[in-house]
């Protein structure tokens, strides 16, 4: 039996519960303290499973004056007064919003509870607007406690995300939300602190348009690490967990660090943000002592895939796309690009910033997200179950390991022939996308490069004893594809490697909608050395 058992906060989003159960906690209370003394009204956007709810719960415990929960944390050293304020905690994740009725019921549930607590019961609940009732609650809480009120709104955008495909319903829900939150602007004298969080930053403007003093810290350097786990925090505070991970997987400590970084690191939420790890994935990995795709398994991004296809976005660009601040703030009613949605949902993250042109470079944060998203994209383009593509990739790699490129290509021909051909959108771009996704998925298992610049073959696969250079032609000839490999010197960068170089020209036949012919040329290793 393992001694010194570590309890991870998996499924625990309540700060008091986490502390009372002695769960692992990466101390964020210095940032919480800074937040509460810097300004009064805040908005924060972060992807799902990134600790937003825990942050809100931490703020609630702090403003309720629960000093005992902060023993041993930075807050214990920083805070001297420990005042208690009335706290209105609104969590919209409590329901699924399939109709306006569900939203009205949720808001009414919050209001009734507060009305009882602060003695401001309303006789005509159906006839009194939510805005009036919320205003009465805030004023009553202020008078009863003799202290300004704290309002914490968690997952504010949950109703909109639940109804993303229903434009009419979204409009109705926005109207209800706008009415409910409208008193917050004019009641500043009664408010000590207002904090709103969710996934979507772009839709805040249509709901909180009247809150012109709302400070958005979503892309601020000084608060970039308020959710998630930085690399410094991982190495300083979670070293025992890394050591256990290394031991369980037969790795050195350094190898485990590198493995965790590839799989779960890579998020950046501002121009100069340090590396941030997904806390949900990290703690699940430590608990299971396995490097699995934990974050992605918690939700299928169906609406994102639909949006990519509706906008005819070239998914090959997701390896490195650019965006401006204005794009991040585009309202949901006028979404013309999937990029802001992909960023705010956590499928893309900031990988660089050009101050001259004020442009962000975005890409997949890590291996977990890249593999999970590609596995979700493939069925949408193949019109086949996801297992089919994964099985194909695994079988392809097994054949390559045996050096059997002919079987690989025969398998590829059969695979494409199995794709339903009754749709009209099967263009060259469509099949190029499928090839790209398949070989990107393959890159999760072997060293596979997909064309990303001029002067490089379509695909390069590096095996233990050979390097495969592949070029595809659409309604051309395999000979033309091979000639391009040779004339443009695609194989030259790999000749000093020492491994056997196999050049493969492949033709894709649009009439049969699968691979037609191919030609293989093996370079003499001796000549390359």
pLDDT in tens, the chain (529 residues): 344 688 999 999 999 999 999 999 999 999 999 999 998 999 999 999 999 999 999 999 999 999 999 999 999 999 999 999 999 999 999 988 989 999 999 999 999 999 999 998 777 777 899 999 999 999 999 999 999 999 999 999 888 887 877 888 988 998 999 999 999 988 989 999 999 999 887 555 567 766 777 889 999 999 999 999 999 999 999 999 999 999 999 999 999 999 999 999 999 999 999 999 999 999 999 999 999 999 877 666 677 888 888 888 888 888 889 998 877 766 555 566 788 888 988 999 999 999 999 999 999 999 999 988 888 888 887 776 666 778 888 898 899 889 899 999 998 898 888 877 654 456 777 788 888 888 888 877 777 777 755 567 888 999 988 999 999 998 999 999 999 999 999 999 998 888 999 999 999 988 888 899 999 999 865 444 4
Cα–Cα distance measured from residue 113 to residue 392, given in angstroms and rounded to the nearest whole number: 55
Phi, psi of 276 (to 5 degrees): -125, 135
Count of helix runs (H) and strand runs (E) in the chain: 23, 15
Residue-level pLDDT at 385: 67
Cα–Cα distance measured from residue 83 to residue 66, given in angstroms and rounded to the nearest whole number: 9
SS3 153: strand
Residue-level pLDDT at 529: 45
DSSP β-bridge partners for residue 216: 43
As a CATH number, domain 15-220 is 3.40.50
Q: Where are the domains of the chain?
A: 15-220, 229-297, 300-367, 383-528
Residue-level pLDDT at 309: 81
Q: DSSP character for 329?
A: T
The tokens of 365 are what? Answer: 């944060």
The tokens of 25 are what? Answer: 């906690």
- Residues 143, 146, 149: CA angle, nearest 5 degrees: 80
Query: Could you give the residue ranges of the DSSP H alpha helices within 64-212?
Result: 74-78, 100-118, 130-145, 158-162, 167-181, 183-186, 204-207
Fold assignment, 383-528? Trna Endonuclease; Chain: A, domain 1 (3.40.1350)
SS3 90: strand
Residue-level pLDDT at 1: 38
- Residues 6 or more apart whose Cβ sits within 8 Å of residue 48: 199, 298, 299, 345, 346
Query: Could you give the residue ranges of the DSSP H alpha helices within 39-151?
Result: 52-63, 74-78, 100-118, 130-145
Phi, psi of 266 (to 5 degrees): 100, 0
Determine which helix (DSSP H) or strand (DSSP E) holds 461, and give its type and residue range. Answer: strand 459-462
């Amino acid at each position: 039996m393992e001694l010194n058992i570590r309890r991870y906060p998996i499924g625990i989003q309540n700060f008091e519960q986490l502390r009372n159960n002695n769960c692992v906690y990466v101390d964020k209370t210095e940032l919480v303290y800074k937040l509460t003394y810097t300004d009064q009204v805040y908005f924060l956007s972060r992807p799902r499973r990134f600790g937003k709810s825990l942050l809100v719960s931490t703020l609630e415990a702090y403003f309720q004056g629960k000093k005992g929960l902060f023993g041993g944390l930075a807050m214990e050293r920083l805070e001297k007064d420990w005042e208690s304020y009335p706290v209105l905690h609104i969590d919209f994740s409590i329901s699924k919003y399939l109709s306006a009725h569900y939203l009205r019921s949720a808001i009414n549930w919050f209001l009734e509870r507060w009305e009882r607590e602060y003695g401001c019961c309303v006789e005509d609940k159906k006839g009194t607007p939510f805005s009036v009732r919320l205003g009465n609650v805030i004023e009553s809480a202020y008078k009863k406690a003799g202290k300004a009120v704290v309002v914490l709104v968690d997952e504010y955008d949950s109703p909109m995300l639940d109804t993303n495909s229903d434009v009419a319903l979204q409009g109705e829900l926005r109207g209800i939300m706008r009415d409910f939150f409208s008193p917050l602007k004019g009641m500043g004298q009664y408010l000590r602190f207002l904090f709103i969080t969710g996934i979507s930053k772009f839709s805040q403007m249509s709901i909180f348009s009247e809150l012109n003093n709302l400070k958005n810290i979503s892309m601020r350097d000084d608060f970039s690490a308020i959710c998630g786990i930085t690399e410094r925090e991982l190495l300083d505070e979670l070293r025992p967990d890394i050591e256990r991970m290394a031991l369980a997987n037969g790795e050195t400590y350094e190898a485990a660090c590198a493995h965790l970084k590839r799989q779960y690191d890579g998020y950046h939420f501002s121009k100069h943000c340090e590396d941030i790890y997904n806390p949900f994935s990290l703690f699940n990995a430590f608990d299971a002592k396995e490097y699995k795709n934990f974050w992605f398994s918690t939700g299928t991004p169906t609406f994102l895939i639909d949006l990519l296809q509706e906008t005819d976005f070239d998914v090959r660009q997701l390896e490195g796309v650019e965006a401006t601040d204005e794009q991040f703030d585009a309202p949901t009613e006028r979404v013309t690009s999937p990029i802001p949605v992909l960023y705010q949902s956590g499928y893309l993250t900031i990988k660089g910033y050009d101050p001259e042109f004020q442009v962000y470079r975005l890409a997949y944060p890590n291996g977990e997200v890249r593999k999970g998203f590609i596995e979700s994209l493939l069925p949408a383009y193949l019109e086949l179950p996801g297992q089919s593509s994964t099985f194909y990739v695994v079988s392809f790699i097994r054949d390559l390991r045996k050096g059997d490129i002919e079987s690989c290509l025969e398998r590829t021909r059969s695979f494409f022939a199995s794709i339903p051909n009754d749709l009209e959108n099967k263009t060259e771009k469509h099949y190029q996308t499928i090839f790209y996704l398949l070989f990107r998925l393959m890159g999760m298992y072997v060293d596979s490069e997909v064309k990303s610049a001029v002067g490089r073959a379509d695909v390069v696969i590096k095996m233990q004893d050979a390097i495969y250079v592949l070029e595809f032609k659409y309604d051309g000839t395999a000979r033309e594809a091979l000639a391009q490999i040779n004339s443009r010197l695609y194989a030259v960068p790999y000749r000093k490697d020492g491994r056997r170089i196999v050049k493969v020209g492949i033709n894709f036949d649009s009439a049969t909608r699968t691979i037609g012919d191919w030609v293989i040329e093996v370079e003499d290793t001796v000549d390359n050395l």
